Amino acid sequence: MYAKIKDVLSGRFADGEEVEIGGWVVKNRSSGKIVFTLIRDATGEMQVTTRKGNVCDEALKVADALSMECSVIVKGKVRTDPRAPGGKELLATELKLIGTSKDYPIFGREEHNPEVLLDLRHLHVRSKELVAVMKVKDAVLSACREWFRANGFYEVTPPIIISSACEGGSTLFEVKYFEDKAYLSQSAQLYLESLIFGLEKVYSITPSFRAEKSRTTRHLAEYWHIEGEMAWMGLYEMIDMLESLVCFVCNKAAEERYGEIKLIGGDPEYFKALKPPFPRITYDDAIKALQADGFSIKWGEDFGTHEERQLSTHYDKPIFVTEYPAEVKAFYMKDAGNGKVLNVDMIAPKGFGEVIGASERETDLRIIEERLRRQGEDPSKYEWYLDLRRYGSVPHSGFGMGAERLVRWICGLEHIRDAIPFPRTISRSYP
C-alpha cells in the first residue's frame, strides 16, 4: 500500500523514515548528478530528490529522463526542507518508471484556445485546477446527502428515460425506445411528486438534459440535478428550508475544501460564514428595481442572464425572488391569483445567476389541465401524473438545484463547463 503525499507532508512520517509513493510527474529538472522531480497523486504534490550515490545508476538515468505525466513508483526517506513545496521532500532510494508519457499533448498549452483543452479534456481533467473543482463538487454532493438524511428525506432513483415533458417540449432530447418514442429527462420532479405519497420527503441526484440552444457561461445540455419534493409544505416554509440547505452545503464545502476553493480563485471565508436569512423580494419588486436601473423589461417578461446579474449586484447574499407571472412558468406551479404563481428562484450574487428553481405545486386538477392545454400539451399524455391529484392529493412543494451552478458559484468559476468533468453543450459531445 503506497503512502499518500498529503500524509507525508502532514508529518505523519518522521524524518529519515522510508516510505513508498506512486504518482505522476508534474515537472522535472536535472543537473546531471541530482534530479528534482515534482510528483502528484490525488492528495497533493511533493518533491522527490534523486541523487547519484543514493540510487543505482540506472535509476538516476530513469529519473533524468522523466517527462510530464510519466507515472512512477518511488521509495525514499522523508526529509524536512523549507525550500521544498510543502516543506518536505523524499530522498529517493529506488525509482521505477511505470508508464511513459512521450510528447504529452497539453504541455505548454495551458493558455491555448479553450476548445483545444476541451478536445483534450480526458487529459486536462488531471490539471491541478480541475482536480480541485472535482474535490469541491464531491464535498457539495456529500454535504447535500448529509443534510437530506439529517432532515428526514429519503433518496430515491427516478427514471432518466421518460414519456412526457416536465419543462416544455422544445427542450427535450428525443430517443428511440424500442419501437416507441421517448425522451431524456429534463427533471425528476413529476416522479418525485408521486413518491411523496408514500415517503413524504424525497430527494434525488440525477442527470438532467435540456436541449436549449444557449451559448452562455451558465448553460449545459447535460447536468446533475439535486431535486427534492416535500408533502405538507407550502412555499414560504420551503424557502426557509432552502436557506438551511444552501448554507449547510456551502459551509461544509468551504470547511472541507478550503485550500481547493482558494486555489481556484474562490472565497472560502465567505462560504464558511454564509448564514440565513437571505433577502427576499417579489417579482414585482424586481421589475421595479430593474426599471430603476435602466432596463427596458416589462411586467410579464422572464429574467435572462443580464437581468439576474443586475439584480444580484444589489446584494452580497443570494436572493429569493417570488411570485412570477404564471405565463412564464411551468404548468405545475400553484396559482397565487392575479396571474401569478407561488414560486421562487434563488439567484446567487456577483452575477452567478439562478441556482435554484422551486414552487408550491398546484393541486387543482382543472387548473393543471387548463395550463397544459394553454402550453400546447395534451393532458391525456399526463394521465399518470393527473392521478396524483385525483387520489389523496395534499399540499406539497419542491425544488431543483443545479449542482454545477452551485459549484460554479462556490469556486468562482468563469464558465460552468469547468464544474463538470466532460461538459456537454450545444456544440460539444466529445470526448
The per-residue pLDDT for range 249-304, each reduced to its tens digit, is: 999 999 999 999 999 999 999 999 999 999 999 999 999 999 999 999 999 999 99
Q: Are 165 and 296 members of one domain?
A: yes
Query: Is the model's pLDDT at 202 over the cut of 70?
Result: yes
Predicted local confidence at residue 1, as pLDDT: 84
Query: Is the model's pLDDT at 111 over the cut of 80?
Result: no
Q: In total, how many domains does the chain have?
A: 2
Query: Is the model's pLDDT at 155 over the cut of 80?
Result: yes
The CATH number of residue 378's host domain is 3.30.930.10
Predicted local confidence at residue 210, as pLDDT: 95
What does the alpha-carbon distance between residue 408 and residue 266 come to, in Å, rounded to a whole number? 9
Note the pLDDT tens digit of each residue in 373-406: 999 999 999 999 999 999 999 999 999 999 999 9
Q: Is residue 259 domain-resident?
A: yes
Note the pLDDT tens digit of each residue in 39-70: 999 999 999 999 999 999 999 999 999 999 99
Q: Which amino acid is at 174?
A: E
Predicted local confidence at residue 109, as pLDDT: 60
Q: Are 156 and 249 members of one domain?
A: yes
Q: Is residue 136 domain-resident?
A: yes
Q: Are 184 and 76 members of one domain?
A: no
What does the alpha-carbon distance between residue 119 and residue 102 come to, in Å, rounded to a whole number? 19
The CATH number of residue 80's host domain is 2.40.50.140
Predicted local confidence at residue 170, as pLDDT: 75
**Domain boundary residue among 69, 99, 129?**
99
**Domain boundary residue among 70, 99, 128?**
99
Query: Is the model's pLDDT at 129 over the cut of 80?
Result: yes
Predicted local confidence at residue 117, as pLDDT: 93
Note the pLDDT tens digit of each residue in 352-367: 999 999 999 999 999 9
Q: Are 129 and 229 members of one domain?
A: yes
Q: Are 132 and 14 members of one domain?
A: no
**Domain boundary residue among 49, 69, 99?**
99
Predicted local confidence at residue 144, as pLDDT: 98
Q: Are 217 and 321 members of one domain?
A: yes
Q: Which H, E and C letters describe the chain, residue by residue?
A: CCCCHHHHHCCCCCCCCEEEEEEEEEEEEECCCEEEEEEEECCEEEEEEEEECCECHHHHHHHHCCCCCCEEEEEEEEEECCCCHHHEEEEEEEEEEEECCCCCCCCCCCCCCHHHHHHCHHHHCCCHHHHHHHHHHHHHHHHHHHHHHHCCCEECCCCCEECCCCCCHHHCCEEEECCEEEEECCCCHHHHHHHHHHHCEEEEEEEEECCCCCCCCCCCCEEEEEEEEEECCCHHHHHHHHHHHHHHHHHHHHHHCHHHHHHHCCCHHHHHHCCCCCCEEEHHHHHHHHHHCCCCCCCCCCCCHHHHHHHHCCCCCCEEEECCEHHHCCCCECEEECCEECEEEEEECCCCEEEEEEEEECCCHHHHHHHHHHCCCCHHHHHHHHHHHHCCCCCEEEEEEEHHHHHHHHHCCCCHHHHCCCCCECCECCC
Q: Are 278 and 306 in contact (CB under 8 A)?
A: no
Q: Is residue 178 domain-resident?
A: yes
Q: Are 167 and 292 members of one domain?
A: yes
Its domain, for residue 91, covers: 5-99
Q: Residue 386: what are its φ and ψ, rounded to 5°?
A: -65, -30
Could you tell me what percent of the chain has a pLDDT over 70? Answer: 98
Q: Which amino acid is at 219?
A: H
Q: Is residue 430 domain-resident?
A: no
Mean pLDDT across 307-322: 97
- pLDDT band (50, 70, 90) for residue 411: very high
Q: Is residue 239 domain-resident?
A: yes
Predicted local confidence at residue 32, as pLDDT: 80
Q: Are 58 and 168 members of one domain?
A: no
Q: Are 281 and 198 members of one domain?
A: yes
Q: Are 124 and 206 members of one domain?
A: yes
Q: Is residue 427 domain-resident?
A: no
Q: Are 407 and 280 members of one domain?
A: yes
Q: Is residue 112 domain-resident?
A: no
Q: Are 229 and 283 members of one domain?
A: yes
Predicted local confidence at residue 110, as pLDDT: 60
Query: Is the model's pLDDT at 161 over the cut of 90?
Result: yes
Q: Is residue 428 domain-resident?
A: no
Predicted local confidence at residue 56, as pLDDT: 95
Note the pLDDT tens digit of each residue in 16-31: 999 999 999 999 999 8
Predicted local confidence at residue 245, as pLDDT: 98
Q: What is the mean pLDDT of the chain?
A: 96
pTM value is 0.96
